[in-house]
Amino acid sequence: MAVVGACDEWSPLRESVVGIAYGAMFPAEDRGMVEATMPREHWDEFRPGHPFPPWIVEAAEQELQTLAELLEGMGCVVHRPHRVPWSELGGYCAAMPRDALLVMGDRVVEAPMAWRSRRRELLAYRPLLQQLRRSGARWLRSEVDLRVDPLDGGPSSLGRWAIGDARPAWDAADFLRLGPDTVVGQLSHVTNRSGVAHLRARLGAGVSVYLLPVRDPHAMHIDATLCPLREGLALYNPERIDPALLADGPLGGWELVPAPFPDARDDPPLYMTSPWVSMNLLVVDHQHVLVEARDEKLQALLDSYGMTPLPLPFRNVQALGGSFHCATLDLRRDRRRAPLG
């Protein structure tokens, strides 16, 4: 059996990374980048040597542990990242494994991330990557000179993004798998055109990478914009996506359901995301999907589509920058046809 094998976002999850909150620091990033992507009321938090509030980190660690145990209880093998002292090295955290690595088929592809503050993040996953490679996975290093800064190229020709095209940059969370030959994604403040070309070259001719038309001035990661639930069914963010514009691409013919508008909330604060992080779900198998415990409208919606929502408290993890999809990295999903009926 392949050690790494995931071609979509919904087949039964058999093996996954679940992040850890240990030592989480506000990533100290270029001010222009912070202003382009982060909520205005929290811009001043993103400075060097500034940890997240310890009570949030502690509570997030517990939420992640509960998630790991729940997945294990459902028969999924769970790996946890290595503890890295981010406060000493500079960095962010290992709570969001979805951002740095893209799994497609038997490949684990390293993302040449745009954020300087996140360049050492792979330290947290290196022991696991070595283990996976020894047992047969293809580990594709980025081979991009990360000393070249995509910010140095100045704004892109459209003037729309914080990065230029000075070197290839992409974050794995700007992409989603729709099948063995299809990845969809977006350009964003962390993914440039040369980054998309780099990813296409990594995945090879057998995989098409489609860029979706997304309306999001703060775009950074597509997993609070589109959430595939099963073959042919996806939730979309009605503020960012016009489903009529998706008809010609790989989502043509899919049933696209608008996610409910998230409730306003500030406790704990969403330091790094919009409230749409509510739709950052993890599909565990053809039936079960992880949803934040208090997102009842979303739970009812999933229920009406024949799925079983698994409500789990996750607000402290969300405060660190992502929800169930961000905080995990699928290593193996069993690809077989959904049961009929």
Give me the active site residues, please: 171, 221, 326
Q: Are 116 and 138 contacting, i.e. CB atoms less than 8 angstroms apart?
A: no
- Tell me if 223 contacts ligand DAV by CB under 6 A: yes
Between CA 128 and CA 306 the distance in angstroms is 36
Please report how close the Cβ of residue 276 comes to ligand DAV at its closest, in angstroms. 5
Contact region for ligand DAV (CB under 6 A) — 101-109, 143-151, 268-276, 332-340?
A: 268-276
Kindly tell me which of 6 and 270 has the beta carbon lying closer to ligand DAV: 270
- Tell me if 277 contacts ligand DAV by CB under 6 A: yes
Residue partners of 10: CB distance under 8 A and separation at least 6: 228, 229, 230, 231, 283, 286, 333
Kindly tell me which of 69 and 239 has the beta carbon lying closer to ligand DAV: 239
**Is beta strand 308-312 parallel, antiparallel or unpaired with respect to 288-292?**
parallel
Q: Considering just the CA atoms, what is the radius of gyration of the chain in Å?
A: 18
- Tell me if 221 contacts ligand DAV by CB under 6 A: yes
According to CB under 6 A, which residues from 162 to 201 bind ligand DAV?
A: 173
Between CA 245 and CA 213 the distance in angstroms is 7
Please report how close the Cβ of residue 317 comes to ligand DAV at its closest, in angstroms. 11
Please report how close the Cβ of residue 2 comes to ligand DAV at its closest, in angstroms. 27
Please report how close the Cβ of residue 10 comes to ligand DAV at its closest, in angstroms. 19
Residue partners of 207: CB distance under 8 A and separation at least 6: 104, 105, 180, 181, 182, 183, 200
**Is beta strand 208-211 parallel, antiparallel or unpaired with respect to 175-179?**
unpaired
Kindly tell me which of 168 and 321 has the beta carbon lying closer to ligand DAV: 321
Residue written as token pair 């990557």? 129
Could you give the 3-state DSSP secondary structure of residue 202?
helix
Please report how close the Cβ of residue 73 comes to ligand DAV at its closest, in angstroms. 26
Report the side by side order of strands in the sheet with 328-333: 77-79, 13-18, 328-333
Residue written as token pair 């709570």? 95
Which x/- pattern over 320-339 shows residues binding ligand DAV (rule: CB under 6 A)? -xx---x-------------
Calculate the alpha carbon distances from 2 to 40, 106, 129, 163, 248 in Å.
Answer: 44, 7, 14, 37, 33
Kindly tell me which of 56 and 137 has the beta carbon lying closer to ligand DAV: 56
Which x/- pattern over 114-153 shows residues binding ligand DAV (rule: CB under 6 A)? ----------------------------------------
Contact region for ligand DAV (CB under 6 A) — 135-143, 176-184, 276-284, 329-337?
A: 276-284
**Nearest CA among 144, 91, 85 for reference residue 116:** 91
Q: Which of 62, 65, 274, 287 binds ligand DAV (CB under 6 A)?
A: 274
Give the chain's largest Cα–Cα span.
54
- Tell me if 315 contacts ligand DAV by CB under 6 A: no
- Tell me if 285 contacts ligand DAV by CB under 6 A: no
Please report how close the Cβ of residue 77 comes to ligand DAV at its closest, in angstroms. 24
Q: Are 240 and 216 contacting, i.e. CB atoms less than 8 angstroms apart?
A: yes
Between CA 150 and CA 316 the distance in angstroms is 31
Kindly tell me which of 62 and 274 has the beta carbon lying closer to ligand DAV: 274
Opening angle at CA 314, ends 308 and 319, nearest 5:
140
Q: Are 20 and 66 contacting, i.e. CB atoms less than 8 angstroms apart?
A: no
Tell me the number of residues near ligand DAV by CB under 6 A: 12
Kindly tell me which of 10 and 175 has the beta carbon lying closer to ligand DAV: 175
Kindly tell me which of 76 and 219 has the beta carbon lying closer to ligand DAV: 219
- Tell me if 65 contacts ligand DAV by CB under 6 A: no
Binding region for ligand DAV (CB under 6 A): 173, 221, 223-224, 273-274, 276-277, 280, 321-322, 326
